[in-house]
Chain A
Amino acid sequence: MTAEITTEKARIGAPSIAGFTEEGEGLVSAKVDHSHNHGLTVMSSRAERLTSFDVADFALPTGREEEWRFSPVRGLANLLSDAATDGEAAAFSVEAPEGYVRGSLAQGAAPRGTVLTPADRAAVVASANTDEALHVVIPAEAEPAEPVRILVHGGGAGRRSNAHYVLEAGANSRSVVILEHTGAADHNGNLEVIVGEGAKLTVISVQLWEDDAKHLAQHDAQVGKDAVYKHIAVSLGGSIVRLNSNVRFAGEGAEAELLGLYFADAGQHLEHRSFVDHNVANCKSNVLYKGALQGKNAHTVWVGDVLIQKQALGTDSYEKNQNLVLTDGCRADSVPNLEIETGLIEGAGHASSTGRFDDEHLFYLMARGIPEEVARRLVVRGFLNEIIQQIKVPALEERLTEAVERELAATEN
């Protein structure tokens, strides 16, 4: 069997837009017949990226580094400094059935550190400055009726907050965990997830920050044999949000789905990076991030890395990013990277498109009697709904739909 790589560059209806990048693939496909390297410099393998618990291993980024080149690093000085949490910079609370919260884990106390090793300056300073990590365990076979909630509420813009959460889903458990961010802070948060054999876990990280919050995050998961892990990042608030969602596998037959939804307004920087490390054979992954942009200097970034290691025979993976641009003056960067070290896979595909809701779309819908504001909502709601409906927690879906509506109302003003 040979590998099949599909590339779609189908734009959403509109012609290409000046000022937008839709970057080529950094695709290493030495053992794959169908190569489509677009003459870009082939970057070093994602597998070689430095990870470490030692702050000294990560210099302060300048913005020229591959992993920081899209980020407004000048605005992140406070978050990237090796600094302790500023008093009660962020209050957190946990809503979970009795016994799920197991107290806290010191640095080096397993399972802390078994899955998440910091992969950048932000994660390492968060790790180093969090002495006690919250430890939540969903017992084996448990199927809690309500989602487990970890609520983080920032106590004020510019106040430094470090966090590290360790989440374990026991074998064959079925659960949803919501990590919710509100208020404002300079919040640096790591999440370490261990999905046990046969477990089914959905983690939803919701960024409903106030306008002046900044948030950097590394969410790493290891998915056990026959387990199903779904991570959904929803970023609507905050001035800068950069969330890296990474996954690897601990056994065959596992599935991972990394999803994201973001809506950037004027001046907002919302960045999502995903990395699926197919280190084990016969696992499946699907990555889909969808974003809308509006207003001057609204900036979104998606960088999706998929690595299919030599031993990961029978891998089936797909990743896609779609952006919908609603006004002039926005910038959407979208970079899929696919590295394939074996040809003996089921499939590996990637796609990226950035389209704009332009006058011709509007004309078409209005020519069918639909008023302008209804037309605009129809398009954006439909576009983002694909992710929202994956949440499957009705109350949260409703809240997020309302939040999207508020963003849309802002477009019209």
Chain B
Amino acid sequence: MSTLEIKDLHVSIDTEQGTKEILKGVSLTIRTGETHAIMGPNGSGKSTLASTISGHPRYNVTGGTITLDGEDVLAMSVDERARAGLFLAMQYPVEVPGVTMTNFLRTAKTAIDGQAPALRTWTKDVKAAMQQLRIDADFAQRNVNEGFSGGEKKRVEILQLELFKPKFAVLDETDSGLDVDALKIVSEGVNRAHAEGNMGTMLITHYTRILRYIKPEFVHVFVDGQIVEEGGPELADRLEEEGYDRYAKGAGAASIAAAAAQA
């Protein structure tokens, strides 16, 4: 049982116009076995939260803490965070020249586990996981993400999720740009990883579409760098009907007060 705890997180980025605060005090706790959906309109800071958890250098933490079972995540380098059990399925996975998928997956698995995986079972595991995600076998010999379509890149992110077995997975708009079939395949992959019982999931999304396939216990609505409302799956249903309009400027403060009163 692990806990990922985010407390009063403030994050800013440097822009040409100066420093811009994006996260304005975010608190969130996720435990093993839980699935949390973070929902909100574009530009609300959802992806910033994801990137900050994984340690992207663009984001400066100006206040608050992130801990994993009490360990200070913010003090860890990007690779240390991954080895500690955090995984970010990226919204825009980059193409990495010169490195085959096979080589990459094995190198990463070795780094995360602290020892090389047993070759025979590893090869079998990779093959099986690729098959389940309908990833063509010859992708193994291609360079990481090079020439992959948007949907293929997302499937390859989930492939890694299944193979690396993190304690916490942050899925940053994994559903964007996927057709229904691909969305199902990807969701099944997340659900398989979840079913093993040792993972907590933070599902970041703009749309409720993916929630038909991945069922969160907790829904958090993100607006302007803050969580403005929290609830169970029924909150997602409401968002589906009403959209984010009611969180437009001014309405936010009232909602969070209501959420706090509930809690």
Contacts and interface: CB of A to CB of B under 8 A. Distances in A.
The finding on whether chains A and B are genuine partners in a shared complex, rather than unrelated, reads yes
Interface of A: 10, 12-13, 322, 324, 355, 357, 359-361, 363-372, 374, 378-385
B98 A369 contact: no
Contacts of A360: 94
Given A365-B99, A367-B88, 9 more contacts: A10-B147, A364-B94, A364-B96, A370-B79, A378-B99, A378-B107, A379-B99, A382-B99, A382-B143
A353 to B, nearest CB: 9
Contacts of B99: 365, 378-379, 382
A382 B100 contact: yes
A283 to B, nearest CB: 29
B193 to A, nearest CB: 15
Contacts of A363: 56-57, 78, 94
A369 B111 contact: yes
B93 interface: yes
A368 B82 contact: yes
A2 to B, nearest CB: 26
B97 A370 contact: no
Contacts of A12: 95, 97-98, 146
Contacts of B143: 382
A370 B111 contact: yes
A368 B88 CA distance: 9
Contact of B108 (A10, A359, A370): A370
A378 B103 contact: yes
B132 interface: no
Interface string B96-123: 1111100110011001100000000000
B77 interface: yes
B101 to A, nearest CB: 11
Contacts of B83: 369
Contact-residue size bin, chain B (C-beta under 8 Å from the other chain): 20 to 34
B78 A367 contact: yes
A74 B99 CA distance: 39
B103 A382 contact: yes
Contacts of A382: 97-100, 103, 143
Interface of B: 54-57, 77-79, 81-83, 88, 90, 93-100, 103-104, 107-108, 111-112, 143-147, 160, 164
B164 A13 contact: no
A374 B107 CA distance: 9
Contacts of B78: 363, 366-367
Given A10-B147, A378-B104, A367 B97 contact: no
Contact of B97 (A359, A374, A379, A385): A379
A390 to B, nearest CB: 15
A368 B96 CA distance: 13
B57 A365 contact: no
A359 B57 contact: yes
A402 B260 CA distance: 61
Nearest to B84: A369
Contact of A366 (B82, B93, B100, B160): B82
B112 A361 contact: no
22 contacts: A12-B97, A13-B96, A324-B97, A357-B97, A361-B97, A363-B56, A363-B57, A363-B78, A364-B93, A364-B96, A365-B104, A366-B79, A367-B54, A367-B79, A367-B81, A368-B112, A369-B164, A370-B107, A378-B103, A379-B99, A380-B98, A383-B98
A383 B96 CA distance: 10
A377 to B, nearest CB: 10
A352 to B, nearest CB: 14
Contacts of B108: 365, 368-370
Contact of A374 (B90, B100, B111): B111
Given A374-B111, A378-B107, A383 B82 contact: no
A195 to B, nearest CB: 32
Contacts of B98: 12, 324, 378-385
A361 B77 CA distance: 15
Contacts of A355: 97
Nearest to A372: B79
Contacts of B97: 12-13, 322, 324, 355, 357, 361, 379, 382-383
Contacts of A368: 79, 82, 104, 108, 111-112, 160, 164
Contact of B82 (A369, A379, A380, A384): A369
Contacts of B107: 370, 374, 378
B60 to A, nearest CB: 15
A322 to B, nearest CB: 8
Contacts of A359: 57
A372 B99 CA distance: 15
B173 to A, nearest CB: 16
